[in-house]
């Protein structure tokens, strides 16, 4: 089973990224042949700062390796190191109905958030389909709000196969039964666009200060509290085992336990979880040649598979000229 995941380098990774995408992707490397790419081509739809894009791409590589990515089990690479994906995207564009792209909600959502419309933003789902299909991926882990992208990919693969012959594996979306809900400091979904994030590897003093700013209700120290309605508890339970979670629930319901206590417990759980990752990241940062070698080898493995698929697709549409028809 070949599993494909990708993440955009569009800013510092945060707890929403970790629990929503990173940790599930790292767990899946135990279950099959995993491909994980840093989607820096996709990031160009919103990031037009050269140095920022380079730095964010590098930071994503460090973050994943620090958090446990195994470059032997996972083919880990930069999207831009596999240029074959763009030729495949063009071949797929030739069979992509305009109406299909016009119905994609991600384009509408980004325009509504003020991102300037561009061909890249509009055609984003075609490049994403090429990312998935070029490695003959079987499974694509996604959140429920990203399921449409895999559905578009399936539609394009079926249309291409019907017109030109069986070239692509038809991928299946993988949506975990329980997708982690990660609230930000203000209670909305944690997102860089809302400015409500807790960075994975930010300065610990600043991280603790941000945790202390998490919005809560106005109940006093002595008042019983509802853990299910509290952003602090929603974050804490992502870190805690059953015993620690139940202990905090009891403290909330029993009273004489303030939100300040809960925030300090959350900060301690954060530090305990990420301390070994932080140490590993510092070690990796001191050895950039190793990180670059991991990405280079990952790209070589990815390009080998991409070339096979692209050759089949080119031949299917009539772009191979090894002899007369």
User: SS3 letters for 13-31?
Assistant: CEHHHHHHHHHHHHHHCCC
The CB-side HSE value for 179 (13 A sphere, CA atoms) comes to: 16
pLDDT of 323 higher than 80? no
Q: What is the pLDDT of residue 59?
A: 98
Residue 145 lies in a domain: yes
Report whether pLDDT(325) > 60: no
pLDDT of residue 181: 75
Integer Cα distance of 143 and 184 in angstroms: 17
What is the percent of the chain where pLDDT is above 90?
Answer: 82
- At 180, the pLDDT band (50, 70, 90 cuts) reads low
One domain for residues 106 and 239: no
Cα torsion through 176, 156, 92, 162, rounded to 10? 140
Specify whether 165 is located in the same domain as 83.
yes
Give the active site residue among 12, 159, 192, 297: 192
Lowest pLDDT segment from 46-50, 180-184, 293-297: 180-184
Q: Indicate the range of 183-187, 189-193, 223-227 predicted with least confidence.
A: 189-193
Annotated active-site residue 208? The verdict is: no
Mean pLDDT of 232-242: 96
Catalytic hit among 12, 159, 189, 308: 189
Does 163 lie in the same domain as 207?
no
Q: Does 145 score more than 80 pLDDT?
A: no
Domain ranges, residue 148: 2-180+288-317
Does the annotation mark 113 as catalytic? no
Residue 276 lies in a domain: yes
Annotated catalytic residue 192: yes
The answer to whether 261 touches 251, Cβ cutoff 8 Å, is yes
| pLDDT exceeds cutoff 90 at 172 | yes
Q: What is the pLDDT confidence band of residue 179, given thresholds at 50, 70 and 90? A: low
Give the contacts of 58 (CB within 8 A, at least 6 positions apart). 291
**Degrees to nearest 5, angle at CA 314 with 126 and 133:** 40
Mean pLDDT taken over the chain: 94
**pLDDT of 115 above 90:** no
Domain assignment present for residue 322? The answer is: no
Q: What is the CATH number of the domain that holds 241?
A: 1.10.240.10
What pLDDT score was predicted for residue 90?
Answer: 98
Point out the catalytic residue in the list 12, 54, 108, 110: 110
The residues pairing with 242 across neighbouring beta strands, listed in sequence order, are none
- Could you tell me if residue 93 is inside a domain? yes
Residue 98 falls inside a structural domain: yes
Q: Which of 9-18, 177-186, 283-292 bottoms out in mean pLDDT, i.e. has the lowest?
A: 177-186
- Structure token pair of residue 34: 């995993």
Report pTM.
Answer: 0.93
Sheet holding 74-78, edge to edge: 74-78, 33-38, 2-7, 139-141, 172-174
């Amino acid at each position: 089973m070949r599993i494909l995941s990708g993440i955009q380098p569009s800013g510092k990774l945060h707890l929403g990224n970790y629990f929503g995408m990173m940790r599930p992707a790292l767990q899946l490397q135990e279950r099959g042949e995993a491909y994980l790419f840093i989607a820096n081509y996709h990031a160009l739809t919103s990031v037009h700062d050269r140095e920022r894009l380079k730095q964010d791409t590098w930071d994503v590589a460090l973050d994943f390796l620090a958090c446990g990515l195994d470059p032997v089990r996972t083919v880990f690479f930069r999207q831009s190191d596999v240029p074959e994906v763009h030729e495949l995207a063009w071949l797929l564009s030739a069979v992509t109905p305009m109406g299909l792209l016009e119905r994609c909600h991600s384009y509408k959502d980004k325009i509504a958030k003020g991102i300037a419309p561009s061909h890249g933003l509009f055609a984003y789902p075609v490049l994403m389909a090429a990312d998935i299909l070029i490695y003959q991926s079987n499974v694509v882990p996604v959140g429920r709000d990203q399921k449409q992208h895999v559905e578009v990919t399936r539609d394009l693969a079926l249309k291409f196969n019907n017109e030109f012959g069986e070239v692509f594996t038809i991928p299946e979306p993988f949506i975990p039964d329980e997708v982690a809900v990660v609230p930000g400091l203000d209670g909305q979904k944690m997102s860089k666009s809302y400015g409500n994030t807790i960075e994975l590897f930010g300065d610990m003093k600043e991280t603790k200060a941000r945790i202390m700013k998490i919005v809560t209700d106005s109940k006093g120290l002595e008042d019983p509290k509802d853990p299910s309605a509290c952003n602090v508890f929603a974050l804490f339970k992502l870190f805690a085992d059953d015993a620690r979670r139940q202990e905090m629930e009891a403290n909330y319901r029993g009273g004489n336990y303030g939100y300040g206590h809960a925030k300090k417990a959350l900060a301690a759980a954060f530090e305990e979880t990420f301390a070994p990752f932080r140490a590993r990241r510092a070690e990796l940062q001191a050895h950039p040649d190793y990180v670059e070698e991991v990405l280079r080898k990952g790209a070589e493995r990815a390009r080998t598979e991409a070339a096979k698929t692209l050759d089949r697709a080119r031949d299917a549409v009539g772009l191979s000229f090894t002899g007369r028809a």
